[in-house]
């Protein structure tokens, strides 16, 4: 298997991206193609013991920055690492693409210029797999489509359910619509209309509406939302998690006694951090794109990038793209 990694992806690129690629090449034994500024990548690679690993470098002269507008940069930066990388997949020269860069840019380049959409897919969705509460859940869409029609959400459900089942090996994934209450009469118009359609979809294990506290309790495996609500939802989780852990740290540091207590409790806090760590998953696919594209967080470290590469391998091996083709047909 050949997996392309965007070396210019993370906020601190190319160090975490290259280090993650080296880790994954070692762990998986697969071929990794690093795409981006060749001299920067090579300088970074020189810091690692990469001899014997299947690592290749492909030059790309431009970078779509985090601050770039997706549609514009997709159009004008046709030599970006995202363009060059996804084109390798489109041309059959690689099996998957992984990037921690501008999500909107990756989406725009993939769907409009290189890989295109899977036939029949109305809108692709940005996905995340998150240790959201007691278990990992798949959430889609978290930002590609701020305004949705019910038909879009039904397709997100089909695609995300297939991903959970085939790549993450969740048996008959429970799919729920994110809402302001669990009762069938709750929801905005979009949720209510989507719910009516979902009931006709026998291929999906649809369990109804879900509200945040039930998500946290692990009552569903796949959470479906429009990209606006899904984005606010996931960002609120990230921001609140960080805030609460910061408050705990601050208050423990406020007196010598509690500081001592905190020192004794350190192993517990390490376990807390591990349980809340989004980087253990590393990334999740752009669903609906005609090829495996894994999106990682801009703040990813090498560990996260390496895990995102594993997610790419799983997605390719699971036959996700082909299953979505059949599923939306």
- Report, in Å, the least distance between residue 242 CB and a second copy: 8
How many residues of this chain interact with a second copy, rule: CB under 8 A? 59
Distances (CA, A) of 253 to 89, 230, 248: 50, 35, 9
Residue 196 interacts with a second copy (CB under 8 A)? no
| Residue 225 or 302 with smaller CB distance to a second copy | 225
Query: 195, 163, 197: which is closest to 179 by C-alpha?
Result: 195
Using CB under 8 A as the binding rule, whether residue 298 contacts a second copy is answered as no
Map the footprint of a second copy across residues 97-136, applying CB under 8 A: 133
What is the rounded distance in angstroms from the CA atom of residue 44 to the CA atom of residue 57? Answer: 11
Q: Which two tokens stand for residue 296?
A: 């990682």
User: For residue 178, what are the β-bridge partners?
Assistant: 210
When binding is defined by CB under 8 A, the residue of 276, 289, 294, 312 that contacts a second copy is 276
Strands lying side by side in the sheet with 292-296: 55-59, 31-36, 2-6, 96-99, 292-296, 283-287, 125-132, 135-140, 222-224, 174-178, 205-210
Contact string (CB under 8 A) for a second copy, positions 228-267, x = contact: xx-xxx-xxxxxxxxxxx-xx--xx-xx-xx-xxxxxxxx
Pick the stretch among 54-62, 112-120, 167-175, 208-216 that binds a second copy (CB under 8 A): 208-216
Q: How far is the CB of 70 from a second copy (least distance, A)?
A: 10
In the beta sheet, which residues pair with residue 139?
128, 223
Phi, psi dihedrals of residue 194, rounded to the nearest 5°: -65, -40
DSSP assigned state of 217 = T
Contacts 24+ apart (CB under 8 A), 63-68: 63/8, 63/13, 63/36, 63/37, 63/101, 64/101, 64/102, 64/105, 64/106, 64/109, 65/102, 66/11, 66/101, 66/102, 66/298, 68/102, 68/105
Piece of the chain touching a second copy by CB under 8 A; list 87-95, 151-159, 188-196, 321-329: 188-196
Q: How many helices (H) and strands (E) does the chain have?
A: 13, 11
Shortest distance in whole angstroms from residue 88 CB to a second copy: 30
Give whichever of 134 and 203 is closer to a second copy, judged by the CB atom.
134
Q: Which of 66, 90, 112, 272 binds a second copy (CB under 8 A)?
A: 272
Shortest distance (Å) from residue 47 CB to a second copy: 32
Is residue 290 involved in binding a second copy (CB under 8 A)?
no
Q: What CA–CA distance (Å, rounded) separates 254 from 228? A: 38
Choice from 9, 85, 150, 227 touching a second copy (CB under 8 A): 227
> Which window, 139-147, 161-169, 280-288, 319-327, contacts a second copy (CB under 8 A)?
139-147
Residue among 231 and 306 whose Cβ is closer to a second copy: 231
Binding residues for a second copy restricted to 49-108, rule: CB under 8 A: 69
User: Could you say which of 215, 287, 289, 321 contacts a second copy (CB under 8 A)?
Assistant: 215
- Residue closer to a second copy by CB (options 241, 325) is 241
Q: Which is nearer to a second copy, 26 or 186 (CB)?
A: 186
230: exposed, middle or buried (Cβ count in 10 Å: 0-12, 13-18, 19+)? buried
> Least separation, in Å, of the C-beta of 68 and a second copy?
12
d(CA 159, CA 96): 17
Positions in the binding site for a second copy (CB under 8 A): 69, 133, 143, 146-147, 178-181, 185, 187-189, 191, 211-213, 215-216, 226-229, 231-233, 235-245, 247-248, 251-252, 254-255, 257-258, 260-269, 271-272, 275-276
């Amino acid at each position: 298997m050949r997996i392309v990694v965007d070396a210019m992806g993370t906020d601190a690129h190319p160090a975490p991206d290259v280090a993650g690629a080296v880790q994954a090449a070692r762990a998986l034994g697969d071929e990794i193609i690093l795409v981006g500024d060749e001299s920067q990548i090579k300088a970074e690679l020189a810091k690692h013991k990469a001899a014997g690993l299947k690592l290749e470098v492909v030059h790309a002269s431009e970078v779509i920055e985090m601050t770039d507008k997706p549609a514009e940069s997709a159009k004008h930066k046709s030599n970006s690492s995202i363009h060059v990388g996804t084109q390798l997949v489109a041309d059959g020269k690689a099996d998957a693409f992984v990037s921690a860069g501008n999500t909107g840019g990756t989406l725009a380049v993939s769907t409009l210029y290189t890989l295109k959409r899977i036939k029949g897919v109305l809108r692709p969705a940005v996905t995340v797999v998150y240790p959201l509460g007691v278990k990992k859940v798949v959430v889609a869409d978290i930002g590609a489509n701020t305004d949705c029609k019910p038909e879009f959400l039904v397709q997100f459900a089909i695609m995300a359910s297939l991903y959970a089942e085939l790549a993450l090996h969740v048996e008959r994934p429970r799919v729920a619509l994110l809402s302001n209450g669990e009762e069938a009469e709750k929801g905005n118009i979009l949720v209510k209309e989507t719910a009516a359609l979902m009931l006709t979809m026998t291929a999906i294990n649809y369990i109804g509406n879900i509200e945040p506290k039930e998500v946290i309790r692990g009552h569903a495996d796949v959470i479906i939302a429009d990209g606006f609500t899904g984005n606010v939802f996931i960002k609120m989780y990230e921001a609140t998690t960080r805030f609460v852990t910061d408050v705990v740290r601050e208050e423990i540091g406020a007196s010598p006694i509690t500081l001592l207590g905190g020192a004794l409790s350190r192993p517990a806090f390490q376990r807390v951090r591990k349980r809340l760590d989004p980087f253990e998953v590393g990334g999740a696919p752009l669903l609906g794109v005609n090829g495996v594209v894994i999106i990682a967080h801009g703040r990813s470290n090498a560990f996260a990038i390496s895990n995102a590469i594993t997610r790419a391998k799983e997605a390719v091996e699971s036959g996700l793209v082909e299953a979505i083709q059949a599923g939306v047909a």
